[in-house]
Structures are given as C-alpha cells and as structure tokens.
Amino acid sequence: MTLLQGHGLKALASPVALHVTHDTRWDRSVYVFFHALVSDMLRISADQKSRNDIPAFGLALDVLRHTYNDMFERATKASEGQDNAANMDVLAAFYDRIQEVVVHHIKTAAKPLLILEITPSAS
C-alpha cells in the first residue's frame, strides 16, 4: 500500500529477523486479508488511473479487476460442493501468486537500510 501511494520502500539490510519455512496453513482470515489487500490495490490503482490517462495501464487494470471479481464471486457463492471447492482452490492459488509477486517486488524495489551497531568507546 505504501508503494501504491507513492512512497518509497526500505528494507533492513541486517538480518535481524528471518522467516521460518513452514507448511502452508490457510484459514478463513487469510481470505479476508487477501480480499482486502487486492481490493485496496485495485481501488488505489483506479484512483491513479484517473490521474494518469495511460491506455495500457487502464486496460491491464480492467482485466485484473474483472478477472479478480469473477474469481472471488465464484469462490464465495453460496452453493457448496465440488465446484465451489475447486473455485476456492483457484482463489487460494491466485492469492498465493499475489503474495509471491508482492514480496518479490518489495525485495527488488526497496532500498537497503543499514542499522549500524554502536559500540561503547573504550575511553
């Protein structure tokens, strides 16, 4: 969201925390989070589209918005069963890919931020 709003990104260059690899665990809160994230990304992008009339950007945004809305509607429709489970799998895979792309983009776009260790002087 910060990047979409025109702010730069910084990432800690020092390994102060590492991600522990683990099995994927999905629950309903993940769907709520990713739906809010994608919806906000689309909304902010649409606001930028109105300020920067670039036809290719507008087309790409419309394709993404309509595709996402269709996937979300199919996955969250009231009917249960095999079709709905398959649609939920498609939506989960889309959210996984969104996460991969966003993390990759953050890692490549962020400027390194060094935190220097200050040691007491020997005086």
Residue 66 belongs to a domain: yes
Residue 6 belongs to a domain: no
Q: Which domain holds residue 106?
A: 26-110
DSSP at 91: H
Q: How confident is the model at residue 118 (pLDDT cuts 50, 70, 90)?
A: low
Residue 18 belongs to a domain: no
Residue 38 belongs to a domain: yes
Q: Per the structure, how many domains does the chain have?
A: 1
Residue 89 belongs to a domain: yes
Report yes or no: 10 and 112 within 8 Å, Cβ to Cβ.
Answer: yes
Q: What is the pLDDT of residues 27-64, one digit of tens each?
A: 778 889 999 999 998 988 888 777 777 788 888 889 99
pTM of the model: 0.72
Residue 106 belongs to a domain: yes
Residue 13 belongs to a domain: no
Residue 69 belongs to a domain: yes
d(CA 15, CA 46): 36
